[in-house]
Amino acid sequence: MLMSWMRRLAIAAAVTVCAAPAAVLGQVTAYAPTMNEPPPGVDTNAGFELPYEYRRQAVFYRTNEEPGTIIVNTHDRFLYLVQGNNRAIRYGVGVGRDGFQWGGVNRITRKAEWPDWTPPPEMIERQPYLPRFMAGGAGNPMGARAMYIGSTVYRVHGTNAPETIGHAVSSGCFRLVNSEIEDLYSRVPVGTKIVVQHR
């Protein structure tokens, strides 16, 4: 029991935005992120420069998916927006930490600008220090834009912690720096297919 409590304390600083996948709901096992991130309400975007490899860029990308499809590669920490003719726009992303990764095919079902954040009950259970509600804004962990995936709790969204891009930190959502999610958001309509893969 003491060890379990110590494990919970060890991850108290690792704030995450999304809920756990169904396979881990109700468990108290701690899954360490690859880095810690600032708490909700703290915005570290000012003056941050995204490393070159995670900046938005046009790349050669071979796929059978239709133009307009989003493909997230959680292993490489990139999101691709397929353009056709073996081309894609590539964005750097933060992904789910160990135990919170998932894969499959779904659709973007809703979009929101400067979304509010209401941590789901299973996240509150794991991290009881989190706020129960946070209005949209610069310090909100959902960032400037959010695109909701199917009827799941997962989203492609911005962040108040741009230094987490390229790391496994979330509870299953995919985060981009605010300037990049604003660009992606402008290109992606509701109904867009999203493919999440690990390799």
The set of catalytic residues is 157, 173
Output the CA–CA distances (angstroms, integers) from residue 29 to 24, 25, 86, 131, 184, in the order listed. 9, 10, 42, 21, 34
Contact 19, 172 (CB under 8 A): yes
Q: Are 111 and 147 in contact (CB under 8 A)?
A: yes
CA distance 162 to 158: 9
SS3 86: coil
132-137 contacts, C-beta under 8 A, 24 or more apart: 134/40, 134/41, 136/112
Burial 132-141 (b: 16+ CB within 10 A, else e): eebebeebbb
b/e map 105-126, b = 16+ CB within 10 Å: ebebeebeebbebebeebbeeb
